[in-house]
A and B are shown apart, each in its own frame.
Chain A
């Protein structure tokens, strides 16, 4: 057994709040001394995962081990971990020294040793001479340093950091990132860092864990995650991407934006729908010529400091392109991408599929509502059925009363010529929608599906 090489083992952990599943079968293994970042949008369950490791909440299913010891049910004060909280949580009734000494005093460590350790911790975070200051008189950055000192002074096996830099301004955040990385090197303990800031994750981590909707999407080094995103969510969340629908014509040949491109991926089968990702900096842009794989017109060009970010409209698709060279708006340009810079991802789904029940010949129940459908004669009423609806056939309405049911737009992906939305319906199931209209995250929408868009198939009893 290689058990001992991992400091944290999370085995099949799920967490429910009431009926709501916030963590879905999480498996995570952290090596001793690693800097692991859990990255994801708000509400993805990353903080809950950290709180399970810290012990503030207990897992509904699965087990967690720290240093080989099963601690799933152990209360937080008996765990060899310490936490740096997002809002610092420094005790306002204690000064800097007493805040940092809090954990040591509980362990009944002799006074002189406490004094020495607190001083060393303050030196570590660059706050020497602040011992007797009132914590309320410190700036946000200083409070954060004290919070870090309060945690590391206990010499934990694992340091948990819950978005520790989120409340700081940009400049301070950059400085603290460097200091944290330095500290990690010096202390040699394991850091588990939770953030929604992808740049922070790329800068700091040895390993990034990308989470979304309670599930781990991908685990890998920053380079892996950036260069080989496993699905369109990761590609969109980490850095900027051009994500398009494509067809894998055959091995090493993919068709998107109306053009066939050579690529290096294989094993998807022939004529399979796929998602294609090309990073903006991987496009070569030049005056249109024979070398162009695809040609188009520059529709916007913004100077970004190091490079220009241009939008090129080609064959009705928009591509984001980053290059040191400037091309003016209206200029005709050619684009080229090298085969290994095209990333192909299997599509998670090609249409919406819902479980439902046929009410009568022209009505079907699904998503908690009754929908009219084209006459179904081959299936007996009352039978369990599967309902298929194409992404582009779901109609969203501003006025929620116009819809058969309502939902909230929770994820938006631009696919070059249309938007692919994930709408969390009030029924609880997600609905995926292709649309040309612009919606915002969090928009509350009415959802309508026309009878001719509903395809009903019988569930085959197995």
Chain B
């Protein structure tokens, strides 16, 4: 009896059981439920009606496209702000460069709602209207660290000898950047895009708070449907969003050389 228990405890494999149970209950099961619900009507029969409803509703499609647009703009702005920041952090021989990186990451330890409410207060204080501009600002503010960190990581690990090789072959500083540093840091940029683009598609709290509920993002639509007990339609919308996220990941990992090891992935 005890022998069996001891055997059970000593086998490394059995240690994974709690994690397997956890992810089965809280990750895999909900995902399966989403799929099942998406293809079901109120009565519990198989149907494609939920998807048909989405494609028949221009309003829903508009929200979807608008959400993607906001996500793309946020991602682009994050790259434009994040890349130079990461680049400067790796270039300067700052004694406390890593401390500065932590400063960039630090806001992430504050709850997203608190940060966003603070942003609302800031806009109020400066007498600036809430709306589209505030939305983009809030998104960029919230997701910028996710862009900086993977790029910083890749740039920091970049072998200095590539830069020297480019200089040696006659590249001036601008050419060194464009022809060696930038292409070699692509894995970091791709990681950053994944880290920013995917969550921005599904956010709704930022949109609600920073636009006074005036602008609806796709995440808001899903949340509203589920709140109104439209489980099946909500599940279908979630599935569409998951599909989009999955597609981005596949596209990104396609030209993301695993040997390069970009940032967090």
A56 touching B175 by the CB < 8 A rule? Answer: no
A77 touching B162 by the CB < 8 A rule? Answer: no
A93 touching B164 by the CB < 8 A rule? Answer: no
The CA of A292 and the CA of B165, in the complex, are separated in Å by: 59
Knowing A85-B161, A89-B162, A91-B184 touch, does A102 contact B169 (C-beta < 8 A)?
yes
The CA of A154 and the CA of B159, in the complex, are separated in Å by: 23
Closest Cβ of chain A to B45, distance in Å, is 53
Interface centre among A55, A85, A154 (most CB of B within 10 A): A85
CB interface residues, B 129-168, toward A, < 8 Å: 159, 161-162, 164-168
The CA of A81 and the CA of B170, in the complex, are separated in Å by: 9
- Say yes or no: is B186 at the interface (Cβ < 8 Å to chain A): yes
- Say yes or no: is B171 at the interface (Cβ < 8 Å to chain A): yes
Closest to A85 in B: B161
CB neighbours (8 Å) of A92 from chain B are: 184, 257, 260
Choose one: B165, B167, B171; the contact of A55 (CB below 8 Å). Answer: B167
Chain A: residues with Cβ within 8 Å of the partner, total of 24
Choose one: B159, B161, B165, B167; the contact of A75 (CB below 8 Å). Answer: B167
The CA of A131 and the CA of B193, in the complex, are separated in Å by: 33
B169 touching A82 by the CB < 8 A rule? Answer: yes
A91 touching B168 by the CB < 8 A rule? Answer: no
Closest Cβ of chain A to B17, distance in Å, is 40
- Say yes or no: is A438 at the interface (Cβ < 8 Å to chain B): no
Closest to A54 in B: B168
The CA of A428 and the CA of B159, in the complex, are separated in Å by: 31
The CA of A151 and the CA of B170, in the complex, are separated in Å by: 11
Closest to B161 in A: A89
Choose one: A82, A90, A107, A136; the contact of B168 (CB below 8 Å). Answer: A82
B168 touching A83 by the CB < 8 A rule? Answer: yes
Closest Cβ of chain B to A152, distance in Å, is 12
The CA of A85 and the CA of B159, in the complex, are separated in Å by: 12
CB interface residues, B 205-226, toward A, < 8 Å: none
B167 touching A102 by the CB < 8 A rule? Answer: no
Closest to A106 in B: B170
Choose one: A77, A81, A90, A150; the contact of B171 (CB below 8 Å). Answer: A77
22 examples of A-B residue contacts, CB within 8 angstroms: A54-B168, A55-B167, A75-B167, A76-B168, A77-B171, A77-B176, A81-B168, A82-B168, A85-B161, A85-B164, A89-B159, A89-B162, A91-B165, A91-B183, A92-B257, A102-B169, A106-B170, A106-B179, A107-B170, A136-B259, A151-B168, A154-B170
A-B contact sample (19 more), CB < 8 A, given A54-B164, A91-B184, A102-B171: A54-B168, A56-B168, A75-B167, A77-B167, A77-B175, A82-B169, A83-B164, A83-B168, A87-B161, A89-B165, A92-B260, A93-B183, A93-B184, A102-B166, A103-B169, A103-B170, A106-B179, A150-B169, A151-B168
Q: Which residues of B contact A (CB under 8 A)?
A: 159, 161-162, 164-172, 175-176, 179-180, 183-184, 186, 257, 259-260
CB-CB nearest 10 A-B residue pairs? A103-B169, A89-B161, A89-B165, A76-B167, A93-B183, A83-B168, A106-B170, A77-B170, A77-B167, A102-B169
